[in-house]
Amino acid sequence: MPSEFQLIQQFFQREQAEQPAEGVLLGIGDDCAILQIPAGKQLAVSVDTLVADVHFPADADPELIAERALRTNLSDLAAMGADPLWFTLALTLPEANEDWLRSFSRGLFTCAREFGIALVGGDTTFGPLSITIQVMGATQSQQTLRRDGANVGDFVLVTNFVGDGAAALAAIQNTHTFADEHAEYLQQRFYRPTPRLYESGLIRDIASSALDISDGLVADLQHICDASDLGAVIDVESLPLSPAVQSLNNNSQSYQWALSGGDDYELCFTASPEKMADIAMLIAQGKLHATVIGEMIPGHKVICEYKGESFALDTTGYQHFSS
Amino acid sequence: MPSEFQLIQQFFQREQAEQPAEGVLLGIGDDCAILQIPAGKQLAVSVDTLVADVHFPADADPELIAERALRTNLSDLAAMGADPLWFTLALTLPEANEDWLRSFSRGLFTCAREFGIALVGGDTTFGPLSITIQVMGATQSQQTLRRDGANVGDFVLVTNFVGDGAAALAAIQNTHTFADEHAEYLQQRFYRPTPRLYESGLIRDIASSALDISDGLVADLQHICDASDLGAVIDVESLPLSPAVQSLNNNSQSYQWALSGGDDYELCFTASPEKMADIAMLIAQGKLHATVIGEMIPGHKVICEYKGESFALDTTGYQHFSS
């Protein structure tokens, strides 16, 4: 192994040593990490890869790349109702650039501290820039937010705003122009999306199903439909849009972004009519920022309606968000 | 998400659905897998990335690439004394080639069945070919094979043969020529190394420290020295060499491969003089194929001796094995 890569590993190891974490019996530096799951809990595991120039510009600020990589992975724990515990990092780098690594690890550990998750292992290899993070969390069976628990008549909700992910990419790629304040907001939403762990903790005893919006609202809600063997209807006018997206003054574009954009990392969840009062109270108390956008119905597909008429989507996938 | 990539995911999901596995409360298809660790056990976790044309030829048989990726990761569980449970796969592909994927997944699931490990999650992305696998296993504190448990006077042993990894690469890269039977043996050793899980099970109550040889025997034994704050001496003549490596009739080259080659995925472990009788009995009974190659001594470095004289290494790292 090249000595420069040993330096990299020691760098991550040193950073990690400063943050001894719960349940870590043995951290970085052996063949495996040895971890103790909290008593009575199950392990929730998710893995995601971010590839340069596919998921982020290769020349982006390494601190922001790290934040985005960890935050989007944490979003999967939130979507499952799990509490963050540990993560591993597989980092593939074209060169051992010390400045890049210092910045990357600063972003990584800042974010890890913010959300209470500890780096417990990793691998550093030569190759085209990409980052694979596996997050591990703790969950309890009765609180697990699965995709297959929705029922006919359940309300469909989303947290905060949808469409920001696609708008952010349009801003970064200069296909749309935003006022400075909105461009800055969207930049933050792209690189530093907030994993909705707090919201997940509020709803995990109440919601009947949940996931996070990464592929696009319609495509993701379709996953709930598939898993629950149901259809869903979305009232397009009810979609919560951020001031940045609203500033475009182009409802048609805004709705497309909100419905098929992706990269929002908001929660989409369902709640039974009986439980909806609890959700509504959390919203009314200002604890939960969420909006009812539709309903689960018999069938197999997600239907979008605008003023009672069918609303046509350009696409239902992530890959066309900037078209 | 591109529809062709949804097909890939469904492909892996279908394969996995045929192999319901212990402790998997929720497998592929939700935001996280939900896993139940066996009672009284701890979780052992390791992650490794294999990059095309760094760790394997990009045009290699995909079935063999998959085998190598999973087997080298399983070797880390063996090195820790852990029993395999689950793994995740992050696969980055330049294109969705169905033939490639069919072959890759065949190799992956054949290997997974052989070693009793279940795929529980994954991510498939566009990009330069690379494979990141995270293996998870179960261990018990008192049986964990750490690197920091060696003491002065402990015997140093290796399982089976060392040097095959480097010899295999020399064969694949055509820098050395081997007879057909030896070339075939080395090809198998490169793509289908045997994770020493069985041997690990035999020694985990007895050995004082262990790791698997991936960087090269001297470099890896140095990790045990560093963690245990000791030195070690290797008797070069005692190194166990395979018939393939011996067929070279070049002891100097063979010893260099064995000492600094890497990619052997054999266990290097230490045993106290008191416990050595148990190890020796396992060897004498033909249950354990292992050889005493040296001793832990005061100091900080690994020293190699040949007929009582210092033996000079060309290098102590993996990257120069074919020089």
Measure the CA–CA gap between B106 and A221, rounded to whole angstroms: 32
A211 to B126: CB separation less than 8 angstroms, yes or no: no
Is residue B4 classed as helix, strand or coil in its secondary structure?
Answer: helix
Find chain A residues with C-beta within 8 A of B122's C-beta: 47
Which residues face B133 on adjacent strands?
A: B48, B89
Higher-scoring residue by pLDDT: A1, B231 = B231
- Where residue B317 falls among pLDDT bands split at 50, 70, 90? very low
Residue A289: DSSP 8-state = -
For B47-105, write each residue's pLDDT tens digit: 999 999 989 999 999 999 999 999 999 999 999 999 999 999 999 999 888 899 999 99
Say what the pLDDT of residue A9 is.
67
Interface probe for B, chosen from A132, A148, A217 (most Cβ of B below 10 Å), is: A132
How far away is chain A from the Cα of B2, in angstroms, using its nearest Cα? 6
Q: Is the pLDDT of residue B323 over 60?
A: no
Q: Is the pLDDT of residue A15 over 80?
A: no
User: Of the candidates B32, B45, B147, which has its C-beta nearest A77's C-beta?
Assistant: B32
- The ipTM assigned to this model is 0.90
Mean pLDDT of chain A: 91
Higher-scoring residue by pLDDT: B124, B198 = B198
> Which are the contacts of A106, defined by CB distance < 8 A and separation ≥ 6?
A63, A66
How far away is chain B from the Cα of A177, in angstroms, using its nearest Cα? 25
Percent of chain B with pLDDT over 90: 80
Cα–Cα nearest to B141, from B204, B234, B59, B69: B204
Measure the CA–CA gap between B7 and B93, rounded to whole angstroms: 14
The secondary structure element, H or E, covering residue A227 is helix A217-228
Is residue B205 classed as helix, strand or coil in its secondary structure?
Answer: coil
Say what the pLDDT of residue A141 is.
82
B34 to A132: CB separation less than 8 angstroms, yes or no: no
Interface probe for B, chosen from A5, A6, A24, A32 (most Cβ of B below 10 Å), is: A32
Say what the pLDDT of residue A19 is.
60
Within a 10 A sphere around the Cβ of A318, how many other Cβ atoms? 20
A49 to B123: CB separation less than 8 angstroms, yes or no: yes
How far away is chain B from the Cα of A272, in angstroms, using its nearest Cα? 20
> Residue A301: left if φ>0, alpha if ψ -120 to 50, beta else—which one?
beta
User: Of the candidates A33, A80, A146, which has its C-beta nearest B45's C-beta?
Assistant: A33
- Where residue A22 falls among pLDDT bands split at 50, 70, 90? confident
Q: Is the pLDDT of residue B321 over 50?
A: no
Furthest CA-CA distance within chain B: 65
A45 to B32: CB separation less than 8 angstroms, yes or no: yes
Mean pLDDT of chain B: 91
Q: Is the pLDDT of residue B4 over 80?
A: no
- CA dihedral of B244, B248, B249, B252, whole degrees rounded to 10: -110
A90 to B132: CB separation less than 8 angstroms, yes or no: yes
> Which are the contacts of A2, defined by CB distance < 8 A and separation ≥ 6?
A96, A126, B317, B319
Interface probe for A, chosen from B7, B12, B16, B31 (most Cβ of A below 10 Å), is: B31
Per-residue DSSP letters for B72-109? HHHHHHHHHTPEEEEEEEEEEESS--HHHHHHHHHHHH
Q: Find the mean pLDDT for residues A43-52.
A: 95
B36 to A43: CB separation less than 8 angstroms, yes or no: yes
A54 to B317: CB separation less than 8 angstroms, yes or no: no
For A283-299, write each residue's pLDDT tens digit: 999 999 999 999 999 99
User: Of the candidates B43, B76, B146, which has its C-beta nearest A35's C-beta?
Assistant: B43
Measure the CA–CA gap between A318 and B96, rounded to whole angstroms: 17
Measure the CA–CA gap between A47 and A91, rounded to whole angstroms: 13
A80 to B318: CB separation less than 8 angstroms, yes or no: no
Higher-scoring residue by pLDDT: B286, A18 = B286
The secondary structure element, H or E, covering residue B275 is helix B273-284
Q: Find the mean pLDDT for residues B205-224.
A: 96
The secondary structure element, H or E, covering residue A307 is none
Measure the CA–CA gap between A23 and B44, rounded to whole angstroms: 12
Q: Which domains, and CATH codes, for chain A? A: 3-142 (3.30.1330.10), 145-320 (3.90.650.10)
Q: Is the pLDDT of residue A28 over 90?
A: no
For B231-240, write each residue's pLDDT tens digit: 999 999 999 9
Q: Is the pLDDT of residue A30 over 70?
A: yes
B26 to A54: CB separation less than 8 angstroms, yes or no: no
- Where residue A18 falls among pLDDT bands split at 50, 70, 90? low
Say what the pLDDT of residue A8 is.
64
How far away is chain A from the Cα of B84, in angstroms, using its nearest Cα? 12
Measure the CA–CA gap between B273 and B284, rounded to whole angstroms: 17
Say what the pLDDT of residue A282 is.
97
Order of strands, sheet of B130-139, starting from the edge strand that comes earlier in the sequence: A24-26, A33-35, B42-51, B130-139, B83-93, B118-126
Q: Is the pLDDT of residue B305 over 50?
A: yes
Say what the pLDDT of residue A142 is.
82
Q: Find the mean pLDDT for residues B101-120.
A: 94
Measure the CA–CA gap between A266 and A290, rounded to whole angstroms: 10
Measure the CA–CA gap between A107 and A126, rounded to whole angstroms: 21
Residue B246, amino acid: Q
Residue tagged 């069918």 (tokens): A310
Find chain B residues with C-beta within 8 A of A86's C-beta: 45
Residue A53, amino acid: D
- N-terminal to C-terminal alpha carbon distance within chain B: 44
Say what the pLDDT of residue B98 is.
87
Cα–Cα nearest to A35, from A107, A84, A76: A84
Structure tokens at A145: 């937010």
Measure the CA–CA gap between A64 and B194, rounded to whole angstroms: 40
B45 to A82: CB separation less than 8 angstroms, yes or no: no
Q: Is the pLDDT of residue A131 over 90?
A: yes
Find chain A residues with C-beta within 8 A of B137's C-beta: 32
Measure the CA–CA gap between A36 and B243, rounded to whole angstroms: 43
Cα–Cα nearest to B265, from B113, B137, B163, B175: B163
B121 to A47: CB separation less than 8 angstroms, yes or no: yes
How far away is chain B from the Cα of A43, in angstroms, using its nearest Cα? 5
For A71-114, write each residue's pLDDT tens digit: 999 999 999 999 999 999 999 999 888 899 999 999 999 999 99
For A180-194, write each residue's pLDDT tens digit: 999 999 999 999 999
Say what the pLDDT of residue A143 is.
85
Alpha-carbon distances, residue B271 vs A118, A186, B75, B105, B206 (angstroms): 33, 58, 20, 39, 7
User: Of the candidates B42, B130, B317, which has its C-beta nearest A130's C-beta?
Assistant: B130
Say what the pLDDT of residue B112 is.
95
How far away is chain A from the Cα of B62, in angstroms, using its nearest Cα? 19
Measure the CA–CA gap between B214 and B149, rounded to whole angstroms: 20
Structure tokens at A95: 């060169």
- N-terminal to C-terminal alpha carbon distance within chain A: 44
Interface probe for B, chosen from A6, A37, A47 (most Cβ of B below 10 Å), is: A47
Find chain B residues with C-beta within 8 A of A148's C-beta: 30
Find chain A residues with C-beta within 8 A of B146's C-beta: 26, 30
Measure the CA–CA gap between B304 and B162, rounded to whole angstroms: 15
For B5-45, write each residue's pLDDT tens digit: 566 666 677 665 556 688 999 888 889 999 999 999 999 99
* The model's pTM: 0.91
Find chain A residues with C-beta within 8 A of B36's C-beta: 42-43
